Amino acid sequence: MRAWMLPAGSDGFDKLYLADDLPDPVPGPGEVLIAPKAWSINYRDFAVASGRYFGGVLQKPTIPLSDGAGEVLAVGAGVTKFKVGDRVAGAFFTDWQDGPPKMSMALGDGMGPGMLAEKVVLPETGVVHMAKSLDYAQAACLPCAGVTAWNALFGGHETKAGDKVLVLGSGGVSILALQIAKAAGAEVIATSSSDDKLKDVVALGADHTVNYKTTPEWGPVVKQEFGGADHVVEVGGTGTLGQSMAALAPGGEIAMIGVLAQGDPPDPRGLMMTGGSLRGIFVGNVAMADALNAFVDQHGIKPVIGKTFAFEETDKAYAHARGPESFAKTVIAL
Ligand SMILES: NC(=O)c1ccc[n+]([C@@H]2O[C@H](COP(=O)([O-])OP(=O)(O)OC[C@H]3O[C@@H](n4cnc5c(N)ncnc54)[C@H](OP(=O)(O)O)[C@@H]3O)[C@@H](O)[C@H]2O)c1
């Protein structure tokens, strides 16, 4: 079978290569053999490729990516949840089923199996049924970015109709959070560095927008002009947290997710003035993935795909996802 791989010691996604003579994996007891049909790229995949993810520098040749969706080709002995032909996706953490965070093996991180192959074996516990209303490309957008957005909006303070949700930038997590929040009846405030992308987020339902480049002090603007955010999907990190705290409505919650913006962290005592809270997010568990897929079916959400590349063009897909033209999810499809 074919798979895209990163070599041991990889220091960037330019080291990706297509291996075309790998042995077909065989499912053992409790395992599922999947033929992925589509994949999506997440920001963390660049950290994996450059040896800066949690496992550090890759110790062995590695099949990357956590996010893939496809068809079940075979199941091992004892598998009860899946059968041949089922449409499935991987779960980011294959053995975190429910409850509070359990740091375990993550797909495509150099320790767990990666999805960017024509055939993948996963433990039954690390597979979810796709949302019925999605095609493979759309379903491939959800395992990391979608579940993270879901966790941000429902894993702590549950988002209710009428709440105000602030999403930062127009990347994968933020656009999915926008779509989920709108379906939940929330009012969405979106930021971007690009006025053109802000037009696109308005078309997707954003109620208010701010350009964070031309308005670097966007936090007080969100607070004063739009009434403050009850939920912040904080994908920036230390470089944006101060503005997110300034944007917070009384009692609001910041879901601490990303590392896109570097900077000195703000004084956390600012949260005392709003009774605000900060909650760390590490993607989410299998139960959240299932809940998200049910919600997607219920509300007819179609994950936004900025651009799609062929499997053979995976290196170009990575370059696009890293570049200024990327919007929402970048997908690779057979
Ligand atoms: N903790 C977790 O479990 C978890 C899970 C998923 C993702 N993450 C993290 O969340 C972040 C987003 O991931 P992703 O996959 O959605 O990334 P992505 O799709 O690559 O997002 C790229 C977009 O981020 C926006 N951006 C960049 N710098 C920004 C800034 N200073 N302020 C606001 N927006 C900024 C830009 O939007 P514009 O072009 O519109 O400006 C850019 O197009 C990453 O840091 C990732 O590592 C963490």
Ligand 1 centroid–CA 171 distance in Å is 5
In sequence order, what are the beta bridge partners of 36? 70
Question: Looking at the domain assignment, is residue 135 inside a domain?
Answer: yes
What's the CA gap between 190 and 166, in Å, rounded?
A: 6
Ligand 1 centroid–CA 21 distance in Å is 35
Q: Give the per-residue SS3 of 259-275.
A: CCCCCCCCCCCHHHHHC
Q: Is 240 in the pocket of ligand 1 (CB under 6 A)?
A: yes
Residues 159 and 272 both lie in one domain: yes
Residues 55 and 132 both lie in one domain: yes
Q: What is the pLDDT of residue 249?
A: 98
Ligand 1 centroid–CA 193 distance in Å is 12
Q: Is 151 in the pocket of ligand 1 (CB under 6 A)?
A: no
For 329, the domain range is 3-141+303-333
Axis-axis angle for helices 286-299, 172-183 (nearest 10): 60
* Residue of 173, 201, 243 best suited for mutating to test ligand 1, as the one with most atoms within 8 Å of CB: 173
Residues 173 and 275 both lie in one domain: yes
Q: Helices (DSSP H) in the chain: which residue ranges?
A: 43-49, 136-139, 147-154, 172-183, 195-203, 218-226, 241-247, 270-274, 286-299, 314-322
Residues 53 and 107 both lie in one domain: yes
Q: What is the pLDDT of residue 118?
A: 98
Q: What is the CATH number of the domain that holds 23?
A: 3.90.180.10
Q: Is 329 in the pocket of ligand 1 (CB under 6 A)?
A: no
State which amino acid sits at residue 142.
L
Question: Looking at the domain assignment, is residue 286 inside a domain?
Answer: no
Ligand 1 centroid–CA 198 distance in Å is 15
Q: Is 144 in the pocket of ligand 1 (CB under 6 A)?
A: yes
Q: Is 46 in the pocket of ligand 1 (CB under 6 A)?
A: no
Residues 135 and 212 both lie in one domain: no
* Residue of 54, 104, 260 best suited for mutating to test ligand 1, as the one with most atoms within 8 Å of CB: 260
Q: Is 209 in the pocket of ligand 1 (CB under 6 A)?
A: no
Residues 151 and 268 both lie in one domain: yes
Residues 220 and 136 both lie in one domain: no
Q: Is 178 in the pocket of ligand 1 (CB under 6 A)?
A: no
Question: Looking at the domain assignment, is residue 85 inside a domain?
Answer: yes
Q: What is the CATH number of the domain that holds 155?
A: 3.40.50.720
Question: Looking at the domain assignment, is residue 116 inside a domain?
Answer: yes
Residues 324 and 203 both lie in one domain: no
From the CA of 43, give the closest atom in ligand 1: 15
Residues 148/288, Cβ–Cβ less than 8 Å: no
Residues 95 and 167 both lie in one domain: no
| Nearest one of 114, 122, 105, 13 to 66, comparing CA atoms | 114
Question: Looking at the domain assignment, is residue 250 inside a domain?
Answer: yes
Q: What is the pLDDT of residue 105?
A: 79
Per-residue pLDDT of the chain (334 residues; tens, 9 = 90+): 999 999 999 999 999 999 999 999 999 999 999 999 999 999 999 999 999 998 899 999 999 999 999 999 999 999 999 999 999 999 999 999 999 888 777 999 998 899 999 999 999 999 999 999 999 999 999 999 999 999 999 999 999 999 999 999 999 999 999 999 999 999 999 999 999 999 999 999 999 999 999 999 999 999 999 999 999 999 999 999 999 999 999 999 999 999 999 999 999 999 998 999 999 999 999 999 999 999 999 999 999 999 999 999 999 999 999 999 999 999 999 9
Q: Quote the number of domains for the chain.
A: 2
Q: Is 223 in the pocket of ligand 1 (CB under 6 A)?
A: no
Q: What is the pLDDT of residue 102?
A: 83
Q: Is 236 in the pocket of ligand 1 (CB under 6 A)?
A: yes
- Judged by DSSP in three states, 208 sits in strand
Residues 181 and 252 both lie in one domain: yes
Q: Is 138 in the pocket of ligand 1 (CB under 6 A)?
A: no
Residues 178 and 116 both lie in one domain: no
Residues 247 and 153 both lie in one domain: yes
Q: Is 169 in the pocket of ligand 1 (CB under 6 A)?
A: yes
Question: Looking at the domain assignment, is residue 240 inside a domain?
Answer: yes
